[in-house]
A and B are shown apart, each in its own frame.
Chain A
Amino acid sequence: MTEASVGLRVTRAGPLALLQDAGRFGVRRLGVTQGGPVDLHGWAWANHLVGNAWGTPALEVTFGGLELTAERGLVLAVAGADLAATLDGQPLPGWRALSVERGQQLAFGSPVNGLRAYLAVAGGFAAAPVLGSVACVAREGLGGHDGQGHRLAEGDGLRVTPRRAAVGRTAPRDDAEIDYRRPAELALLPGAQIAEFSGESLFQAFNASWRVDDRADRMGVRLTGPTLQCRMTSMISEGISLGAVQVPPDGQPIALLNDRQTIGGYPRLGALTPLACSRLAQCLPGQEVRLNAAATESALEAYRRFRGGFA
């Protein structure tokens, strides 16, 4: 493998762009969160389209605003949200690999469809792993392009491990591109405290439409809607899985995502499936979502189908 060198330079940072590999695992018992792409689906496709293996670091661009200049020729792909990306001012087509020449400018605008775009380059962004991963977690000061958990800032150079890649050989599957503007149907695996909620609250949880609150980030997404009543108000703190939907005493559920705290003490309706987490991560505040009770078997089948397409 050839040595990594700067492939892209940040000319405008935008609100939030983070380098993410699949996540930081094996250290949650130390209070270290998982990190990684909140939309696993978009991240995996961006990597796949340029021929990268599962787990290769790619950029997660939230809301847009990021501008990059190529410092050498690259093959790249943008998947996930449509953030009105352009290449030298011309619309940049998403969900396909493209060649970019030295000096060309890649700019993200604002959300058109979805919230988070993923930018992958053939060969992958290169960064030193911290605690086994380059996943960027600002709160913990771990990972990312500089190892310190920083979001991208103007002037940052992003190192790329060079690799030749054929352009346009990999096409996305028909079901890869998602219209994120439609109401999100989120599969939820019911959890152990489900019986502690009142019958009416359970009916509402799975039949009402919920709205994504503006208190939403990589730690969790708050949903607003009917007030859910639970006989338990708090529990002894215990480990929290990805996608856990906790209900604090105010009765408004919070779906916990990649940067969640490792333990917590609120009763939970259950946990969203990994793909439901991905879908939720593309919702803008105000968007409508529904929770659908799912069985483990069907959730596992859907996840297998998703992962089966990637090396």
Chain B
Amino acid sequence: MSGVFPPGLPRLESAGLGSWMVRLFDAIDEANMPWLTALVRDCEKAFGDQLVDLVPSYTTLLVTFDPLRLSPGEARKRLIERLQWLQPDEEPADAPVKELPVWYDPAVGPELSRLAELAGMGLEEVVACHSERTYRVFALGFAPGFAFMGSVDARLEAPRLATPRRRVPAGSVAVTGQQTAAYPAVTPGGWNLIGRTPAVLFDRDREGFSLFQVGDRVRFVPIDRAEFERRGGNTRPMEEER
């Protein structure tokens, strides 16, 4: 295991009654993810129904258990044991990639031109640049099913909006810094909107609920307006959404 993790890691940190924070890495890296997804599965096995919640995120895994049924000391022991034998999930070159259809258009992606301007590119180039890559889901948070994905091409890096929007339409595809995401529901938001997906990202009636999970590989696939509409996308432009 030595050599994989930075000095002093992995480490267990106190995170409140009935929780341990497992710190594995100290920087954001796609190569972290197979270790995190493997540890998630290991913890499910090690804790069984004493487990309350697991929150993997970029470099860490928050493990929450029922302290009435499992003492913090015993939980710590089990985690150390699992960490000693931890092996990353195998990642074949042909590992499945989830495809997210996106209608990239200024009508639903008002910052598309801002990004083009910042990058010195045409709109089509921005779309190509964003949709060529395969991204990794580093974390879910902010809202149910909101997946933080990276890493975006350095040429598309743009800061957050100075004033966040009060209502970002559901399905909006956005970038900020080196991250990209799609908004599962109408929420406030300060990311740069570049398009919209007709896909339902979070569905309470669907098995697994969220389209994306931590560790997933994702590709954005450009579609045109007709296809977007055919798939039930909401074509209302931003101005009318406010």
Digit string of A18-48 for contact with B (CB within 8 Å is 1, else 0)?
0000000111111110100000000000000
The closest CB in chain B to the CB of A273 belongs to B17
The closest CB in chain B to the CB of A130 belongs to B204
Inter-subunit contact A30/B140 (CB<8 Å): yes
Inter-subunit contact B21/A32 (CB<8 Å): no
Say if the beta carbon of A300 comes within 8 Å of chain B.
yes
Inter-subunit contact A236/B28 (CB<8 Å): yes
Say if the beta carbon of A191 comes within 8 Å of chain B.
yes
Q: A140-B144, A271-B19 are contacts. A29–B14 as well, Cβ < 8 Å?
A: no
Say if the beta carbon of A208 comes within 8 Å of chain B.
no
Across-interface contacts of A272 in B (CB, < 8 A)? 16
| Contact partner, B209, options A34, A131, A263, A307, Cβ 8 Å | A131
Digit string of B125-143 for contact with A (CB within 8 Å is 1, else 0)?
0000000000000011111
Digit string of B141-158 for contact with A (CB within 8 Å is 1, else 0)?
111111010000000000
Instruction: State the main secondary structure of chain A at its contact with B.
Output: mixed
Interface residue stretch chosen among A103-111, A169-177, A240-248: A240-248
Say if the beta carbon of A215 comes within 8 Å of chain B.
no
Inter-subunit contact B140/A274 (CB<8 Å): no
The closest CB in chain A to the CB of B71 belongs to A300
**Docked complex Cα distance between A242 and B62 (Å):** 12
B residues lining the A interface (CB < 8 Å): 13-17, 19, 21, 23, 27-28, 40, 52-62, 64, 67-68, 71-72, 139-146, 148, 185, 202, 204, 209-210, 213-214
Known: A271-B19, A304-B68. 13 other contacts (CB 8 A): A27-B53, A28-B55, A30-B140, A30-B144, A31-B144, A131-B209, A191-B16, A239-B15, A240-B55, A263-B141, A270-B16, A300-B71, A303-B67
A residues lining the B interface (CB < 8 Å): 25-32, 34, 130-131, 139-142, 189-192, 236-244, 261-264, 270-274, 296, 299-300, 303-304, 307
16 CB contacts below 8 A, A to B, read A28-B55, A29-B54, A29-B213, A30-B210, A31-B141, A31-B143, A34-B53, A236-B57, A237-B58, A238-B21, A239-B55, A239-B56, A263-B57, A263-B141, A270-B16, A273-B16
